[in-house]
Structure 1
Amino acid sequence: MEPNVGETDRTLRLAAGMLLGILGAIGALGQATFSPLIGVLLFIVGLVLLGTGFTRTCLLYRPLGIDTRTKR
């Protein structure tokens, strides 16, 4: 697949993915003020953001025709 995630988008995805993954793990273990189910959901969203950041490909961008890379 052709990459469609630019540098700024990638950096934000990786940072948000790490943050949500950590918060989700803490929540899933029952150590947060929110329910463990919300923790699991946050963890999954964090993993998706990390995956799209590392691969530089967002499957949701494809049907919407979005490409955040800079055109040279």
Structure 2
Amino acid sequence: MERNVGGIDRIGRIVIGVVVAIAGIAALAGYWAVGAVIGILALVVGGILFVTGTTQKCPINEAAGIDTTED
């Protein structure tokens, strides 16, 4: 799989991924009263966004034919 995430898309995925993951951790630790299921979901979504941003590879972008890199 070639790179298909770049530029602002990449930075946004990393930043939002970290923020959402921290929110998930806060929910699981009891600092944010939204429930464990929401906390786990936020942690998973945040992790996926962070990984796709750092690796610059997104299978959904590839399936949709989207490429945000600046070749």
TM-score (norm 1): 0.92
CA RMSD of aligned residues (A): 0.9
Q: Provide the rounded CA distance (Å) in 1 between the counterparts of 2:10 and 2:54.
A: 8
Alignment of 1:11-30 (within 5 A): 11-30=11-30
**What is residue 33 of structure 1 aligned with on the other side?**
33
TM-score (norm 2): 0.93
Aligned-residue identity in percent: 37
Runs of 4+ residues deviating >6 angstroms: none
**What is residue 63 of structure 1 aligned with on the other side?**
63
Q: Provide the rounded CA distance (Å) in 1 between the counterparts of 2:38 and 2:16.
A: 16
Secondary structure of residue in 2 paired with 1:67: coil
> Shift in Å at residue 42 of structure 1?
0.2
> Shift in Å at residue 28 of structure 1?
1.2
Figure out how many residues of one structure are paired with residues of the other and give that number.
Answer: 71
Higher relative contact order, structure no. (Cα contacts within 8 Å, ≥ 6 residues apart): 2
Alignment of 1:37-56 (within 5 A): 37-56=37-56
Q: Which runs of 5+ in 2 are unaligned?
A: none
Q: Provide the rounded CA distance (Å) in 2 between the counterparts of 1:29 and 1:60.
A: 31
